[in-house]
Structure 1
Amino acid sequence: MVSVISPDIVGPPRSHSAKRESIIEAAARVFCQEGFGGSNIDLIAAEAGVSRQTVYNHHGDKEKLFTAVVKEVTDRTNVSVFETLATFPDHPQDLHAELTAFGVRFNKNCLCNRDGLFLRKLLQSEGERCPELFATWRENGPGRILAALAARFARLAHAGFLEIDDPDLAARQFLALNNADLQMSFTFGDKPSEEDLQKASSNAVTTFLRAFGRKQQPEGKSGNPAGPRG
């Protein structure tokens, strides 16, 4: 059940930006728990501790509010994603181990956090029925992330660590493999353990390197699953 907070609670006045943020956060909780169809402005206003007119003044109708929530969460998710992409192993000493560690960070920081769980739940429940509500997410989410990851795999290939003809394909398959073993947990709302995250990413990298790792090892690099050009 969504907690109900009376809009008549007496307290210090909130700024315009603070009210907007509280509405966004309340709407995210309500949409996540009730779905788009089961939510309404009155419920969101009560959760945010504001009047329904305040919600309308800030965001208009329910559809515009949902779009604003998706944009806000997508923007926050992108910050986490690009912070994590900055840790991508551009000059690996042990490609399997370092890609695995990157995969763990990606899943933990971008998929298993609150915003990642929210987006995934909303996409599962509303994506097919209301695809137009996710236009902002499609434009600013997966496309940007895949392009950035593809560029990093292209650099690894250029340096001789991988054999890749299509970096975009490699990026899509890496992400798909990286969370494949976590889908059951995601489906039932369970939080994967550290062991689950490590095993999922290790399995993903093993399979990924079978497809894209260098087929011949340079001299002196036999201990590295996919070393650079000698």
Structure 2
Amino acid sequence: MPDKGASTPFQGGIAGAGIASLGINSFDTPGCGPRGQARCRALLDAAAALFVEKGFALTSLSDILRQAGGSRTTLYEHFGDKEGLFRAVMERHCDRVLEEMSATRAAGPAAMAEGLEENLYRVGLHIAGTLTMPETTAILRILVSEGGRIPDIARAFFQVGPEKTIGWLADCFREWSEAGRLRIDDPEGAAHAFIGMVVGDLLTKRLILPDEPVSMEELERYVRQSVRLFLAGTRP
């Protein structure tokens, strides 16, 4: 992950943020009424931190309750079991990540076309920073190890995270191609390729060597070069 204290250009950034500073406490928790929001957030915060620290299999409900407080009754009522709690952690994290891109998404492709390289760099840095942060890599490790047993949760991850990002990028590439700013025949394929380029082997490194951080300097250099290569192959 990028060094602590560093930030991406997106609204203060999330690359390098620890669990406590992700800002996910501000999101409402599905299934919790107003009076139960604080308890639900505490459970999700504890679960997220423990999944990062210990992984899914080694994290018990007792561990989560010991750290968060509250009762098993509350946990079962709102999340069902540990798998339900993991799903809620995953969905909240994906919502948080997509919210970070809201300002850029709201601007729309036409506004982003001005200063195209810099805007794509910002998008790429956000994506790469997000995918190499501790909570994301913890979620991905859990999905790899448990995905065969919980396929509905694995599919949900793609629906609430990667598929939305790819769809938005594809819309941008399509509009820029129609305006003559880029030369792209397959916008969705280009979106997949762009994400693959800006992430590259950084994600593989984080998944295999979780204790070896990726510095912000390395991340910025990698993304900048990837964006330039992408544009070199897609500009008219």
Tell me the TM-score normalised to structure 1 length: 0.74
Other-structure match for 2:142: 122
Larger radius of gyration: 1
Q: Does 1:70 align with 2:90?
A: yes
Other-structure match for 2:120: 99
Letter in 2 for 1:148: W
Output the CA distance in 1 between the equivalents of 2:60 and 2:113. Answer: 51
Aligned pair in 2 of structure 1 residues 85, 62: CA closer, same or farther (>3 Å)?
Answer: same
Task: Give 5+ residue unaligned stretches, structure 2.
Answer: 1-33
Q: Which moved more, 1:176-185 or 1:80-89?
A: 80-89
Letter in 1 for 2:225: N
Letter in 2 for 1:205: V
> Does the CA contact (< 8 Å) of 1:150 and 1:171 recur in 2?
yes
Q: Percent identity?
A: 30
Letter in 2 for 1:50: G
Task: Give 5+ residue unaligned stretches, structure 1.
Answer: 1-13, 215-230
Q: Which moved more, 1:117-126 or 1:58-67?
A: 117-126
Aligned pair in 2 of structure 1 residues 84, 105: CA closer, same or farther (>3 Å)?
Answer: farther
Secondary structure of the corresponding residue to residue 38 of structure 1 = coil
> Does the CA contact (< 8 Å) of 1:67 and 1:134 recur in 2?
no
* CA displacement, residues 51-80 of structure 1 (integer Å, 9 cap, x when unaligned): 333322332222222222222222222212
**1:68-217 alignment to 2 at 5 Å?**
68-86=88-106, 90-93=112-115, 95-108=116-129, 110-113=130-133, 115-128=135-148, 130-183=150-203, 185-187=205-207, 188-189=209-210, 190-214=212-236
Q: CA deviation at 1:47?
A: 1.7
Q: Which moved more, 1:14-23 or 1:41-50?
A: 14-23
Letter in 2 for 1:206: R
Other-structure match for 2:30: none
Aligned pair in 2 of structure 1 residues 79, 53: CA closer, same or farther (>3 Å)?
Answer: same
* CA displacement, residues 122-169 of structure 1 (integer Å, 9 cap, x when unaligned): 334433553333232122221111111111111211221210111001
Aligned pair in 2 of structure 1 residues 126, 33: CA closer, same or farther (>3 Å)?
Answer: farther
Output the CA distance in 2 between the equivalents of 1:31 and 1:133. Answer: 15
Aligned pair in 2 of structure 1 residues 138, 98: CA closer, same or farther (>3 Å)?
Answer: closer
Q: Which moved more, 1:190-199 or 1:144-153?
A: 190-199
* CA displacement, residues 90-111 of structure 1 (integer Å, 9 cap, x when unaligned): 2234x44443343224333x33
Other-structure match for 1:219: none
Aligned pair in 2 of structure 1 residues 59, 92: CA closer, same or farther (>3 Å)?
Answer: same
Output the CA distance in 2 between the equivalents of 1:81 and 1:90. Answer: 13
Tell me the TM-score normalised to structure 2 length: 0.72
Bigger relative contact order, structure 1 or 2 (CA pairs below 8 A, ≥6 apart): 2
Other-structure match for 1:220: none
Output the CA distance in 2 between the equivalents of 1:115 and 1:196. Answer: 20
Output the CA distance in 1 between the equivalents of 2:104 and 2:134. Answer: 16
Q: CA deviation at 1:191?
A: 3.5
Of 54, 64, 71 in structure 2, the residue corresponding to residue 51 of structure 1 is 71
Letter in 1 for 2:229: T
Output the CA distance in 2 between the equivalents of 1:85 and 1:91. Answer: 12
> Does the CA contact (< 8 Å) of 2:174 and 2:184 recur in 1?
yes
